[in-house]
Amino acid sequence: MRHLSFRPALTLRGRTFKGLRGWAGKPLHPPLTDVPVGAYMIAAAFDVISVAGQHERWARDFYRAGTFVLVAGGAVSLLAALTGFWDWLRSTEAGTQARRTANAHALTMVTVTVLVLANLGTRILAYPGHSSTPVVSLVLSLVAAFLTIMGGTLGGSLAFDYGFNVETAGDSPVWHKSETDIKHSDNTS
Sign of CA dihedral 37, 59, 71, 116: positive
Report the percentage of the chain scoring pLDDT > 70: 91
Instruction: Give residue 16's pLDDT.
Output: 87
For 66-89, b where at least 16 C-beta lie within 10 A, e where not — what string?
A: bbebbbebbebbebbbebbebbbe
Instruction: Give residue 182's pLDDT.
Output: 66
Per-domain boundaries in the chain: 23-175
Instruction: Give residue 188's pLDDT.
Output: 47
Query: Which residues, other chains included, contact 171 with Cβ-Cβ below 8 Å and sequence gap of 6+?
Result: none
- Interatomic CA distance for residues 154 and 101, integer angstroms: 7
pLDDT at 28 exceeding the cut of 60: yes
- Interatomic CA distance for residues 131 and 58, integer angstroms: 9
Instruction: Give residue 174's pLDDT.
Output: 65
pLDDT at 175 exceeding the cut of 70: no
Instruction: Give residue 189's pLDDT.
Output: 45
Beta partners for 26? Answer: 23
pLDDT digits (tens, 9 = 90+) for 102-131: 999 999 999 999 999 999 999 999 999 999
Please tell me the least confidently modeled range out of 70-84, 90-104, 126-140. 90-104
**Banded model confidence at residue 172, pLDDT cuts 50, 70, 90:** low
- Interatomic CA distance for residues 183 and 172, integer angstroms: 9
